[in-house]
């Protein structure tokens, strides 16, 4: 299973569901827009702190965000 692909796909889907820009999500978790874009593109993986911030921002579990479960 390609967890990195699942992660970036879910990240993008959650952002679109929330009708937010990449810039807005980056600001919300305290990183630059370009840094966030690299997460969605699969160029970079988030730090542990950023991963938690993303899960909190989108109100989902870490397991959902990383593809370990389909339950949000």
Q: pLDDT confidence of 69, banded at 50, 70, 90? A: very high
Domain 3-65 carries which CATH code? 1.10.260.40
Residue 9 confidence (pLDDT): 96
Q: Do the beta carbons of residue 9 and residue 70 sit within 8 Å?
A: no
pLDDT of residue 26: 98
Closest CA to 42 of 12, 21, 72, 1: 12
Q: Is the pLDDT of residue 44 over 80?
A: yes
Model pTM score: 0.94
């Amino acid at each position: 299973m390609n967890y990195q692909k699942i992660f970036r796909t879910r990240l993008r889907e959650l952002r679109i569901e929330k009708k937010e820009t990449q810039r807005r999500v980056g600001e919300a978790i305290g990183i630059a827009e370009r840094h966030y874009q690299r997460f969605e593109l699969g160029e970079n993986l988030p730090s542990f702190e950023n991963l938690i911030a993303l899960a909190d921002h989108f109100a989902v579990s870490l397991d959902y965000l990383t593809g370990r479960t389909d339950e949000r």
